[in-house]
Structure formats: C-alpha cells, structure tokens
Structure 1
Amino acid sequence: MPHSARARRWPLASALLLLGSLGIAAAWILLADARNAQSSWMAVVAAVDAAWLLRLARIRPGALRALAGTAATALAILIASFGIIAAQLARPMGMLPWESALKLGPHHAWTLAGLANGPVDIAWLVAGVVIAAVLSR
C-alpha cells in the first residue's frame, strides 16, 4: 500500500478514537451515576474499544498505533472521571451535571478524584492503560 494511502487513514482513525473516547466516557458516566460507584473497571472496556477502533480503521500495527490507543484510553479515563465528579456534585447543589462540569475546575476535580478513587480503582485505571498499549500495538 502506498505511503499516502496509509497517511490518509490517520484522520479517520483520529476521528474514530475521539468519538470512541467520548462515547465510552459518556456510557461510563451514566453507569457510574446509576450504580453510585466509580465503575473504574470501565477503563478496560475503554482500552478494548480503542484497540478495536484502531483495527477497524486499518492502522498498521506498531508503536504509533499503541500510543494512539493508549492516548485514547487515557482521554476516556480523564473525561469520565471529570464527568462522574461533576454528576456527583450536581445533585446536592440542585444543578444539572453539565452545569456542574462548567463550574468544576481542574484542581478541584483532581482533589475529588484522589479522594474518590481507592487502590482498587487506581489498579483498574492503570490496567486499562496497560491493556490499551498491549492490544493496540
């Protein structure tokens, strides 16, 4: 396959990964809100989703594909964590989750994420990133 044909696949793959990260993060936020738990095991689901999307886009295996899958998984973890915190803060304040998200700053979110995520949650998040690197390569 010519180099230009492979290079043209990256915009599609990037768009797929961005949409996939946003979609899996939205599902994760809804699940966590319904269960009233962090549901950190969803990081593994995000990793599998990112690897599958890269294969669907027919990106050639290698370090760049592994990096892309890992980055997409990390993005899903960040968005989901921020959204879960915003949703948990919104209810007692009488706000909608997206209103809370607009008022939530990164430092406050980081502090609350540190308080909400225990060792098991951290292990699931790290496992998700590692699995993304392995499955995406």
Structure 2
Amino acid sequence: MTRPASARRSAWRPSPALTRLATPWLAWALLGLGTCGFAAAWITLAFFNGAQNSWMAVIGALDIAWMLRLGGWPRGPRRVAIGIFATACIVALANWGVIAAQLGLMLGLAPWESALKLGFHHAWTLAQLANGAWDLAWLALALLVAALASR
C-alpha cells in the first residue's frame, strides 16, 4: 500500500514554506550575535594584553562563516558578500572598542563611555597609528578567509 507524497515526508523535517518563514530572523540574529560577540571578545583580549591582536580578525571571519552556515543562509555570492561585510564590521567594531578602551583608561572613563564620546576622525587617526603593516596584512587575510569560508 503506497502512502501519499505528503505522508512520506519525514516527521522531523519542517515544510519548505515554514523554513522560508522561520529562517530570516534566526539567521540575522545569529549573524548579529556572532559579529557583536566576537568584537566584544577581541576588545576584551586587547584590553587585557595591551596589543591590537589583529590575528583575531581571521578567527572572526571563520566564526562569521560558521554563523552563516548555522543560520541557513543559502550558498552563493550573497552569502559571500554578507560574510565579508560582517567581518569588516567585526574589524571596525573591535578597532573602535580597543581605541575607546585605551582612551577611557587614560581619561578615567569606562570603555563604553569613551566609545560614545569618541569621534570618527579621532578614531581614524588613532587606528592608523595603532595598526602597522602586519596588522593590515592580518585584516586583509581575514577578508580573504571570509570570502572563501562563506562560499
């Protein structure tokens, strides 16, 4: 006796219509959590050891690629572009946070207070002074890793 096609579907797998509706909020939540969480970890490490730790950008790129896969983002150029953008956001947030934490330490402010008072031009100048050639190489490698791992 043959069962209809709808009954042959496995009980543990949701229907495609339900998956299309449920994926976007979870995917965006995982991406946001991965981006902000990793930037916070990078800032914390840099605050405690006093270095830029630009090698963390490569690990952040791998973390974002993992979050994209966990979130169910479909393969293709869109996922690659989102992976590169999220990695660039991690780098920007981490650099902003490291600069704010170091300035806040000197001025007697908490890192989040300093981050709110830090201006773009001041942050850009300090980021150029703090990031050397090796740091820029790590950041460029992170973007390449993000592109390859997010495919």
TM-score range, shorter chain: over 0.9
Residue of structure 1 in register with 2:48 after alignment = 34
Partner of 2:80: 66
- Computed over aligned residues only, the root mean square deviation of the Cα atoms, in angstroms, reads 1.5
Give yes or no for contact 2:28–2:71 (8 Å, CA) kept in 1: no
Structure 2 unmatched runs, 5+? 1-14
Q: Which has the higher helix share?
A: 1
Q: How many residues align?
A: 137
Which of 1 and 2 has higher RCO (CA within 8 Å, sep 6+)? Answer: 1
Secondary structure of 2:81 counterpart: helix
Quote the residue 1:14 is aligned against: 28
Cα 1:22–1:127 change in 2 (3 A) is same
Counterpart code for 1:120: W
Q: Distance in 1 between matches of 2:129 and 2:19?
A: 47
What's the counterpart of residue 95 of structure 2? Answer: 81
Deviations 1:73-123 (A, max 9, x none): 111111000000000101111111111111101111011000000000001
Structure 1: tracts of 5 or more residues without a match: none
Aligned AA (1:65): R
Could you tell me the TM-score, scaled by structure 1's length? 0.93
Aligned-residue sequence identity (percent) comes to 53
What residue is the counterpart of 2:11 in the other structure?
none
* Runs of 4+ residues over 6 Å off in structure 1: none
TM-score with structure 2 length normalisation? 0.85
